[in-house]
Chains A and B, each alone.
Chain A
Amino acid sequence: NAGVTQTPKFQVLKTGQSMTLQCAQDMNHNSMYWYRQDPGMGLRLIYYSASEGTTDKGEVPNGYNVSRLNKREFSLRLESAAPSQTSVYFCASSEAPAGEHTDTQYFGPGTRLTVL
């Protein structure tokens, strides 16, 4: 099992360019999440999907869109990248639907994005 995979590992964009970060999990998990991690800010939730076909905003959704393509895949799109979106992006998945008592999340390796 690969667990949670993310592509690409690194990306450099110019301001205004668009891109999609891909995430896939092979653990048959119901819930998937996108976070960003910035120095001094900790992990912040961008969007999550409690189950296939549903998505919800997290703490910092502005400038992003997501698609839960199927149970395995959850993509994050930046339509018009800005320097403030320079960050490390982590995808995570968990077995329980959001709201269950235990909700252990497993993280992918991350994507380091720089917007110039």
Chain B
Amino acid sequence: QKEVEQNSGPLSVPEGAIASLNCTYSDRGSQSFFWYRQYSGKSPELIMFIYSNGDKEDGRFTAQLNKASQYVSLLIRDSQPSDSATYLCAVKGNNRLAFGKGNQVVVIP
């Protein structure tokens, strides 16, 4: 089983809709969880991190963590064309970040 799994994309959403991204991880000892956004040809940039069970909101983004079920999700509300990118889930454990392969999101105007 891969350390960090993201369901295969791409995900197409209409402008203004909610985009929902999911990520599961295998190491129960993982402590911190991160979502990065990566535009084509660019480097990853942090959207937000979460380390407590529940929801964490930052603007149009909400991260949700459920350690018992070992998943973390990202919701993007009121999706904009500028949100079209690949979203990377990363999980902290064993002194390093393990990344998922990413989910491509395409927002259709």
- CB-contact partner of B43 in A42, A99, A101, A108, under 8 A: A108
- Bound-state Cα–Cα, A50 to B46, Å: 20
| A91 CB to nearest chain B CB (Å) | 9
In the assembled complex, A79 has its CB within 8 A of some CB on chain B: no
Q: Which B residues are in CB contact (< 8 Å) with A107?
A: 43-45
- Bound-state Cα–Cα, A43 to B88, Å: 9
In the assembled complex, B96 has its CB within 8 A of some CB on chain A: yes
Contact call A45/B51, Cβ cutoff below 8 A: no
Q: Using A40-B101, A43-B88 as known contacts, say yes or no to A98 and B96 having CB atoms under 8 A apart.
A: yes
Contact call A102/B43, Cβ cutoff below 8 A: no
Contact call A101/B32, Cβ cutoff below 8 A: yes
Size band of the interface chain B makes with A = 20 to 34
Contact call A42/B100, Cβ cutoff below 8 A: yes
**Dominant SS among interface residues on chain B:** strand
- Bound-state Cα–Cα, A105 to B90, Å: 10
In the assembled complex, A70 has its CB within 8 A of some CB on chain B: no
Q: Which A residues are in CB contact (< 8 Å) with B97?
A: 45, 103, 105
- Bound-state Cα–Cα, A110 to B41, Å: 9
In the assembled complex, A2 has its CB within 8 A of some CB on chain B: no
Counting chain A CB atoms within 10 Å of each CB, the highest count among B43, B44, B46, B51 belongs to B43
| A34 CB to nearest chain B CB (Å) | 12
Q: Using A42-B88, A43-B44 as known contacts, say yes or no to A104 and B101 having CB atoms under 8 A apart.
A: no
- Bound-state Cα–Cα, A44 to B90, Å: 11
In the assembled complex, A61 has its CB within 8 A of some CB on chain B: no
In the assembled complex, A106 has its CB within 8 A of some CB on chain B: yes
- CB-contact partner of B49 in A41, A104, A106, under 8 A: A104
Question: Could you give 10 example pairs across A and B, Cβ below 8 Å?
Answer: A42-B100, A42-B101, A43-B90, A50-B95, A98-B95, A99-B95, A103-B32, A104-B49, A105-B34, A109-B42
In the assembled complex, B67 has its CB within 8 A of some CB on chain A: no
